[in-house]
Amino acid sequence: MKTFGKFLGLLLLGLLLAIVALGFAFTHLFDPNDYKDEIRQLARDKANLELDLRGEIGWSLFPWLGLELRDTTLASAATPQQPFAELDMLGFSVRVLPLLRREVQMSDIRIDGLKLSLERDAEGRGNWQDIGRPAKAAPPPPEQPAAAAPPASPAPAQAGKAAPALRLDIDSLAVSNSRIDYHDAASGQRYTLEGLDLRSGAIREGASIPLTLKGYFGTNQPVLRARGELTGKLRFDTALERYWLEDAQLKGELSGAPLANQTLTFAAQGQLLADLAAQVAEWNSLKLTANQLDLLGELKVRGLDRTPQIEGGLSIAEFDLRAFLEGIGQSLPKMADADSLRRVALASGLSATPDSLTLQDLRLQLDGSNLGGQLAIADFSRNSLRAQLKGDRLDLDRYLPPPASEADAASATRKAEVAKSGAGNGTTPLPEQPTSHAWSEEKLLPLERLRQLDAELALSFGQLTLRKLPLENASLKLRARDGQIRLDELRGELFDGRFALAGSLDARSDIPQLQFAPQLGDIPLERLLETLKPAEKSPVRGKLQLEGNLAAWGNSEKALIDSLSGNASFILDDGALADANLEQQLCRGIATLNRKVPTREFAEKDTPLRELRGSLQFDRGVASNQDLRARIPGLTVNGKGTADLRVLGLDYRMGVVIEGDQREMPDPACQVNERYVGLEWPLRCRGPLELGARACRLDQDGLGKIAARLAGEKLTEKLDEKLGDKVSPELKDALKGLFQR
């Protein structure tokens, strides 16, 4: 037995020595370089691949199966003169015996100077698509008469057992000096990855594999250039189809045409997972920095094998958005406040698809304002914006363009014209009608952007400032698509009053059409006018009630005012005409007719308005009013005339019915003779609209007619006294008519 064991040991040792000797002889006596032509032909036949082995093939057989290729090119057999891959060197070696146990134990894998040139032609066919297919498919066998199929034999018991999984054990992987180019002939798009350098630690399943990847990225549409470096620890489980990239860190720089050749410095880190069995990917502990921007978040992607669905949340710490945009070459439009967009922060849930993005439970801080709700882009291709936001306060004036220089010049001209027209105290001549246009011709609306706008907005604010108007509890509902914009609702509170506006804008043509229906309730008119024109004092005070239905055309203030048409009605409650006492002027007129001099001054500088109402018809910027009615102490006024909004001028004729001096101690000179009761005293208002009642004077022509009428009535009374019944009634009537004409 001992002799047999010794014999068996010697036999095994002999076999091992024989195998080693055979491997040595095989690797030294057999040179694969002598079979390059056979290898090329095999590649053509089996893989439809044109393989050009320019360099020497180095190899070893046992105990390592080693291979080293140099100066090699690969091309499709259909285009052998256009290689899609070039390789300076590829080297690796595999232990032979572990292969029998389905274990791949490799030393270092080294790839140097790899160049991939991938192209799609105008028909969308790639130069790599034929690789791996046999050059000539075998003809199908001739059809045979159908025969009865033999009964299926039972599968062996071992057939149901899965083959053991392949296990990898690689000392390291190194890829250096490599480049990948992709070109799409149909679109002209090019992508480039160059300077690729990949290094890894030992690659073993279940173990953390240190990984470093560096390189440069470029594209031509648009022109972009990026440098990046990725580090992390790769771990995988092939049985579960799970892959982790732990402690991942990506950093680099980006520049190019979209950034106006400015540089964006970025860094991202987190824990990444891909579960291919569940078709789920996750990015946890996400942290991203890009110049001034710092972002934290969590992302999860479902449906990797179909349309991916992204869910998660993100938050952006307060940062200077203006500086960030300027740093990446994005110019902002001029705004009234140069310090706007300096303080921006955001926190939100997120859901997205390749075509859409939704931010739900959004909390946005903007220059001290807080907004919350939902913001979405429903379709990236159409820039479809959907917003449901509620905010505490927002000053829109900060983000609007600054006042135009043309408007400033027009305002200065206007002020000079008003000053030149002169506002008297009732004894000076009537001011002249203004002639200079009061509105700017600069374009108001970006028509091209409006035509591309697809939006549905529902916004509400506790406080909203627009054109210096302090709107409270304001809400807006707006829809826009294909250049047609509909304002379903804009309502709120203003100066303790109420406002509402609905309308539409058709921006499909170069001459946009605007329709709007304003409603105002209990709005203090003087506060409204003085807020819109802070340098000018309002000529009227009172609570305004207004309803209208108006239309206009054009893309400038001037064009809109020139085309303004429609109708409106108004009532002014508890009003007053500022800096003009019409009662005093009429008292002087009555005193003149009474041939007396007023002895008491009127303490009030203003004329109180107990009632002011009327309706307006707008025709090409001119508002016509035929039913003006106003009541002031001791007077009732009926009037008609026009207000030319193009030049902000008015021309009114009014009839004043005198009810007498209603003060507690009336002036005797102003006492209304019973002959004056029911008479309409003529008043003429003409000049710049800003003058208000200061542009009004007694109509001297009309006053002369009243004086002649009153004189005629007095003479007829005397005729009645003198003639009595001495003459016929016909003659008496004829004589009265002479004096009343």
Longest Cα separation, the chain? 185
Give Cα separations from 69 to 33, 58, 73, 303 (angstroms): 11, 7, 10, 41
Average per-residue pLDDT for the chain: 80
Q: How much of the chain, in percent, has pLDDT values that exceed 70?
A: 74
Question: Peptide bond preceding 539: is omega within 30 degrees of 0, i.e. cis?
Answer: no
Give mean pLDDT, residues 735-739. 42
The predicted model gives 539-555 an average pLDDT of 91
Domain spans, the chain = 20-130+165-204, 405-445+512-698, 703-741
Q: Is residue 84 within 8 Å of residue 76, measured between CB atoms?
A: yes
Q: Which of 52-56, 499-503, 709-713 shows the highest mean pLDDT?
A: 499-503
Using pLDDT thresholds of 50, 70 and 90, give the confidence band for residue 713. low
* Mean pLDDT of all residues in 86-106: 75
DSSP state of 453: -
Query: Are the beta carbons of 216 and 194 closer than 8 angstroms?
Result: yes
Using a cut of 0.75, tell me whether the model's pTM lies above it.
no
> Around Cβ 186, how many Cβ atoms within 10 Å?
10
Rounded Cα distance, 465 and 397, in Å: 7
- Of 482, 456, 646, 492, residue with least CA distance to 561: 646
pLDDT at residue 538 tops 80: no
b/e map 701-736, b = 16+ CB within 10 Å: ebbeebeeeeebeeebeebeeeeeeeeeeeebeeeb
Pairing of strands 64-76, 49-53: antiparallel
Q: What is the mean pLDDT of residues 576-593?
A: 71
> How many CB atoms are closer than 10 A to CB 175?
18
Q: pLDDT tens-digit profile of 185-224?
A: 999 999 999 999 999 998 888 899 999 999 999 999 999 9
> 172: closest CA among 234, 228, 124?
234
**What does the alpha-carbon distance between residue 553 and residue 444 come to, in Å, rounded to a whole number?**
12
- pLDDT given for residue 431 in this prediction: 74
Average pLDDT over residues 578-585: 70
DSSP string, 669-702: GGPPPTTTTT-EEEEEEEEEGGGGGGGEEE-HHH
Give percent of the chain above pLDDT 90.
40
Is 599:669 a contact under the CB 8 Å cutoff? yes
pLDDT of residue 8: 45
- In which band, very low, low, confident or very high, does the pLDDT at 404 lie, cut at 50, 70 and 90? low
- pLDDT category, 385, cuts 50, 70, 90? very high
At 165, is the pLDDT very low, low, confident or very high (cuts 50, 70, 90)?
Answer: low
Q: Which two tokens stand for residue 534?
A: 């802070």
Tens-place pLDDT, residues 671-705: 666 666 667 778 888 888 777 767 787 776 666 66
CB 138 within 8 A of CB 72: no
Q: How many CB atoms lie within 10 A of CB 488?
A: 14
Closest listed residue to residue 46, CA positions, set 115, 130, 141: 130
Distances (CA, A) of 182 to 49, 88, 220, 672, 674: 19, 20, 11, 99, 103
> Residue 77 in contact with residue 130, Cβ under 8 Å?
yes
Residue-wise pLDDT for 446-498, tens only, equals: 888 888 889 999 999 999 998 889 999 999 999 999 899 999 999 999 998 99
Does the structure show a pLDDT above 50 at 610? yes
